[in-house]
Amino acid sequence: MSFSAHPQAARTVLVTGAAGGLGRAFALGFAERGYRVAVADLDADGAAETARLVEKAGADAWHGRVDVTDPAATAEIASRVAEFGGGTIDVLVNNAAVYATITRSAFEDIDPAEWDLVMAVNLKGPWLMTRAVSPYLPEGGRVVNLSSATVYSGSEQWAHYVASKGGVIALTRVMAKELGRRGITVNAIAPGFTLTEASRGLLADAESYGVDRGALRRASQPGDIVGAALYLAGPDSGFVTGQTMVVDGGRQFI
C-alpha cells in the first residue's frame, strides 16, 4: 500500500474492484476531475497498475489489496484511505463484483458454493465496505453502488448474479435513509452490457450484443457509466438519493 502527497482542497474517492475494466475507468474518470483516487482490489498488481495510470493522468493515487467479503480487511483499508484523504473519504464507489468468472446455468443447476461467492462479493461486499467507510464520510459524502440492468431484464441462467444485483438496489435504499440523516447520499447505477475486457471475454459478438434493442443504437462504453458516477458523486446530485440510474442506452425503460 502506498500514497503520495496531495493538496488539501482535493476530494478523495475510493473505488473498489479497480484493477481493470469498469473500475479502472472509474478511477481514471475521477482522476481527470481532480480527485485523489484510492484504488482497491483483490488483485494487488492490477490495483498498482491502475494507480500508476491515475498518477500519469496527474492525480494523486493510493492503492491497496482488499477482500471486500472480509470485515477486518474492509475496516483496515478504510482507515488507510482516510489517512490518504486527510481524515475523510468523500466518495465510495462500490464496484467490486464477481462477473466474468460466473458459470451460466439454469437456477436449479447453480453450484451452491458459487451462489455463496457471488452473494458474498456482490452484495455483502458493498455492505461491508460502506460500513467500514461510514465513519469517514463527511456531510455531503457520496456512496455509489454498482447494480445491473439485468435486474430489470431477468437475464436467464444467471440467477445468482441477478439476485445479488437486485439486492444492491434494496441495500442502496436502506442506506440512503440511514446515511441521509448525516447529509450523505447513496445511489446505484445499473449499467447495461458494457464493453470491458471482461464483457468481451463473455461473448463472441460483444461489440454488437443488444445494440438492436436500445433506443441508442450503439454499444455501451465504460465512459458512459463513468459519467453517471461522476454526476452522482458531484454537487449537481446533492438532492438525489436512494435512486437507481439505469445506463443502458434505452434498452430498459423503468
* Under 8 Å between Cβ of 124 and 108: no
CA distances from 91 to 87, 103, 128, 187 (A): 13, 32, 15, 11
- Strand 12-16 versus strand 91-94 pairing type: parallel
DSSP secondary structure, the chain, as one string:
-EE----TTS-EEEEES-SSHHHHHHHHHHHHTT-EEEEEES-HHHHHHHHHHHHHTT--EEEEE--TT-HHHHHHHHHHHHHHTTT---EEEE-----TTPPP--GGG--HHHHHHHHIIIIIHHHHHHHHHGGGPPTT-EEEEE--THHHHT-TT-HHHHHHHHHHHHHHHHHHHHHHTTT-EEEEEEE-SB-SHHHHHH-TTTTTTTGGGSSS-S-B-HHHHHHHHHHHHSGGGTT--S-EEEESSSS---
Catalytic residue, chosen from 35, 161, 209, 231, is 161
Is 161 catalytic? The answer is yes
* Under 8 Å between Cβ of 249 and 192: yes
Backbone angles phi, psi at 16, to 5 degrees: -90, 160
As annotated, the active-site residues are 161
